[in-house]
Amino acid sequence: MDIWSFITNPFVSIYELIRGGLSGLLTSVGVPDEIVRLIVFLVMGGIVVTVLLIVAPVMMMYMTWLERKLVARMQDRIGPNRAGPFGLLVPIADMIKFLTKEDIVPEGVDGPVHFLAPIVVVIPVILSFAVIQFGVGMGAVDLNLALLYLMAMGSVATIGVFMAGFGSHNKFALIGGMRAAAQIISYEIPQILAVAVIVLLAGSISLTGIIKAQSGLFGLGWFIFYLPVGPIAFFIFLLAATAEINRVPFDLPEAESELVAGYHTEYSGMKFGLFYLAEFLNTFLISAVGASLFFGGWQGPFVQQVPVLGIVYFFAKTIVLIGVQLWFRGTLPRLRVDQLMNFGWKRLVPATLALILFTASFLWAYRLFNQFLTGLGG
């Protein structure tokens, strides 16, 4: 491996060095090839999972800081500024608070369900990061069914939210859990239909395949520029995804003016912290998927020459989309539950069905026209 390759793509280079060194060491002591492959797979997988489990909570902590700072600026306030410069140590204080607060479990709760709910909510989010492509060759798994996998993981979280409401023995929590289940299921439909438009354009349900399909125009051939379907599909995807993760203005399952705190009313300490962790990781995940589907993911100018730029492009696009969701929180009022459901079923679902029909018809006509031109040339 030459120095230039290491400089331009350091993370992948380090991964390959560790992988190659471990494989060579095991082979040199006479370990059979099949066992070598198994051990290398398990060790490298363990390293990747460990990195994700360390990075994800830290990322969530500073997303809370970013949200509080941005919303404070929108509302002419200062925001966190006491602990550390610019309040950068406030997330650390919050983490200590979550870890040290007493875990209070009310009488009458369904013990196993109440205990397992925050775990069931967090695990699918962590598992979803396995297929995100953070840069050139920087994904834990390059799954050819990545979009299907992401949609399946997103559906599992519904069970955890409903478990939290059902197992808490509290009417506010139960109403919040029922609202969350209805809302997530309702808005998954337009979200998946909006994603189907991108699948039609890219001809793939692999995130890597979709990102590579946007490599034209010097890395700027993003699907968001495919007028008119790209912007419309992105707008629907962003609204539906924001509703699915219960962010403002779609945070009806935890509306404090009506339901105290919704489905996590009876949670405290680190159990509540897990719900908080899942919400902010979902925000990052949705933004990362949106950046990959509509803005080319790690695609951009000079990525082929300097692959490490792909990481910069990916996180820049993701942070901008996170900022848009935080902007929603600072500016938009909460919808009523009937407005929320009507908007999903009566507006977004018909719009996405029409968009799919239009996209499929256009692609069919375009291919037919190409065949006609090819026939004339022959």
- What is the tens place of the pLDDT at every residue in 201-255? 998 899 999 999 988 888 888 999 988 899 999 999 999 998 888 887 877 766 6
> If we measure between CA atoms, which residue out of 231, 280, 13, 235 comes closest to residue 136?
13
Q: Express each pLDDT in 267-286 by its tens digit.
A: 888 888 888 888 888 999 99
Q: What is the pTM of this model?
A: 0.88
Assigned token pair, 266: 């009876």
Assigned token pair, 189: 């439909």
In whole numbers, what is the pLDDT of the chain averaged over residues? 85
300: CB partners within 8 A, 6+ apart? 219, 220, 309, 310, 313
Q: In angstroms, rounded to a whole number, what is the distance separating the alpha carbons of residues 68 and 65?
A: 5
3: CB partners within 8 A, 6+ apart? none
Q: How far, CA to CA in Å, does 342 sit from each of 11, 182, 183, 248, 331?
A: 46, 12, 11, 17, 22
Q: In angstroms, rounded to a whole number, what is the distance separating the alpha carbons of residues 40 and 130?
A: 18
Q: In angstroms, rounded to a whole number, what is the distance separating the alpha carbons of residues 303 and 218?
A: 9
Q: Output the tens digit of pLDDT for each of the chain's 378 residues.
A: 567 666 777 777 788 888 888 888 888 888 888 888 888 888 888 888 888 888 888 888 888 888 888 888 888 888 888 888 888 888 888 888 888 888 888 787 887 888 888 888 888 888 898 889 888 888 888 888 889 999 888 888 888 888 888 888 888 888 888 888 888 888 999 999 999 999 999 988 999 999 999 888 888 889 999 888 999 999 999 999 988 888 878 777 666 666 666 777 888 888 888 888 888 889 999 999 999 999 998 888 888 888 888 889 999 999 999 989 888 888 888 888 888 889 989 999 999 999 999 999 988 988 888 888 887 765
Query: By 3-state DSSP, what share of the chain in percent is helix, strand and coil, each rounded to 5?
Result: 75, 0, 25
Q: In angstroms, rounded to a whole number, what is the distance separating the alpha carbons of residues 222 and 362?
A: 18
